[in-house]
Amino acid sequence: MAAGVALALALAAWQFFSPVSRELMAGRDVGIALLGERSSVFLIYHPFSDTVGAFTAAHARPRRGVPAERLAGELALAAAGPAAAEKVFYVELSSAPEMDALWTVLNGWRAEPRLLYKAAAWTRSLKSAGATNLSGFDLFSLFSEFLRLGSSNFILTEVQRRGPGAEAAGETLSSAVLVEVFNASGRPGLAAQTAKRLREIGFDVITEGNYATVEKHTRILGFSRDTAAALALRGALGLQELEIRVKPGHRSVAAAAVILGEDFGSGSEKK
């Protein structure tokens, strides 16, 4: 019994001192930069929706000698803005990140356990090689979270640059409002349709997917006390009379989100 209590206390301590575990337990987004020599990928895991935004960026030439922390911060800034760059983790890779290899493991490890063992061994090797600022427990926490996902949980976006040959990862093409779209209406394809409409008018939709439950009423969420983004999202959807719910404690790279309820499109979203 004493051994069990000691193990439980040790686990609690690891979770408390692990930055990734604290973010995950609070339901906050976690950003991880996969830094390759010629290309990199910035992953934003959204525990709220079990989705991962994957922002890919090609490099004009290898940036040798630049600290990994700086490269990761620049990539996060370019991909998802200042909020994402505040706290970013990184993994240095000897080659370009292979998303297909990651999806092969996530989609097939239950059928082929050897894939899981191979991925776990690679994850353990990262820390010993000094190729990441994630602790062993952080890596374990992320690994455990990702095992619940598959390729369908990933949303791919290419990081835009200002001009041909632009090398600084912080040089983004525009300052579009980052938003998330969730379908809680029970009507297939509604999130994709709405996301397409928002992108056409200039919004950067970083997440589109199904909500965990079906909801009667549509909701607009703002993730900052500055409600400008939520107001813009509300106006773009024609929901001017809908109340905005501000959740400044919910740390997300998105500025606002819409949860599309059963009433969306019926003219009764104002409830």
Mean model confidence pLDDT for the chain: 78
The residue among 225, 270, 228 whose CA lies nearest residue 247 is 225
- What is the distance between the alpha carbons of residues 145 and 143, in angstroms, rounded to a whole number? 5
Per-residue pLDDT at 250:
64
Per-residue pLDDT at 261:
94
According to DSSP, residue 248 is labeled T
- What are the pLDDT digits (tens) for 204-218? 888 899 998 999 999
**Residue 9 in this model has a pLDDT that exceeds 60:** no
| Cα dihedral across residues 105, 48, 31, 200: positive or negative | positive
Residue 185 and residue 208 in contact, taking contact as beta carbons nearer than 8 Å: no
Per-residue pLDDT at 128:
82
pLDDT band at 110 (very low <50, low <70, confident <90, very high): confident
Per-residue pLDDT at 172:
35
Per-residue pLDDT at 248:
66
pLDDT band at 13 (very low <50, low <70, confident <90, very high): very low
Average pLDDT score over residue span 131-144:
86
- What are the pLDDT digits (tens) for 62-101? 667 788 888 888 888 877 777 777 778 999 988 888 888 8
Give residues with Cβ within 8 angstroms of 157, minimum separation 6: 53, 54, 55, 56, 79, 206
Average pLDDT score over residue span 236-264:
84
Residue 230 and residue 255 in contact, taking contact as beta carbons nearer than 8 Å: yes
* Structure-token pair, residue 136: 């062993």
The residue among 99, 135, 146, 131 whose CA lies nearest residue 14 is 135
Question: Where along the chain do its domains lie?
Answer: 21-158, 178-260
Average pLDDT score over residue span 99-127:
84
Per-residue pLDDT at 34:
92
Question: Look-up: residue for tokens 């493991």?
Answer: 105
According to DSSP, residue 26 is labeled T
Residue 221 and residue 173 in contact, taking contact as beta carbons nearer than 8 Å: no
Per-residue pLDDT at 187:
94
Average pLDDT score over residue span 13-37:
77
According to DSSP, residue 221 is labeled E
Proportion of the chain above pLDDT 90, given as a percent = 17
178-260 has which CATH code? 3.30.70.2390
Greater pLDDT, 39 or 84: 39
Per-residue pLDDT at 61:
66
pLDDT band at 5 (very low <50, low <70, confident <90, very high): very low
Greater pLDDT, 32 or 95: 32
- What is the distance between the alpha carbons of residues 205 and 155, in angstroms, rounded to a whole number? 10
